[in-house]
Amino acid sequence: MAQLVEALRTVRGIDLISSVIFVAAVGDLGRFESPRQLMAYLGLVPSEQSSGSRIRRGGITRAGNGEARRMLVEAAWSYRYQPRVSSGKTDVVERQPKPVRDIAWKAQVRLCGRYRKLAAAGKKPTVVVTAIARELSGFVWAIGQTVRPPMPMV
């Protein structure tokens, strides 16, 4: 899983400790067929009460792994700032293959813009960060699909 841990470090807001926590809590990301399954596993999807044609959405479900969810929410706070690669993270990013770097940069551009858009719409900062964490989990899933750990020998 070391390759996945290193690949996740290319994402803004995620470094060694948070990457290890996430991988230890979630395991192989290949077991999730879609990013929505990972979001649901982490409890970052809205709750729903529906009856007939009436649908009411509530806060996040908070089902699933709380430690991994907390790590993503903490990482989401870093998207308040403009997209850039910090000088301390340049070495980590350069060591990764181009598809992983592209996913990490795409995540940074999209999530920084989304943070500003939601904040400008008057959303509470905690609601904005939770929404960013939900989308961030989708990019983490994409990196997990790109960097698949080798299958164990039986």
Domain edges within the chain: 2-146
Give pLDDT tens digits for 52-106. Answer: 888 887 778 888 889 999 999 999 999 999 999 988 899 999 999 999 999 999 9
114: number of Cβ within 10 Å? 15
5 touches 19 (CB < 8 A): yes
- What is the mean predicted confidence (pLDDT) over 122-135? 96
At residue 151, the pLDDT reads 64
At residue 88, the pLDDT reads 87
d(CA 135, CA 110): 9
- Helix/strand/coil for 24: helix
Nearest to 42, CA basis, from 73, 74, 14: 73
106 touches 139 (CB < 8 A): yes
- The pTM of the full predicted model, rounded to 2 decimals, is 0.89
Nearest to 70, CA basis, from 7, 13, 29, 31: 13
d(CA 139, CA 106): 9
- What is the mean predicted confidence (pLDDT) over 4-18? 95
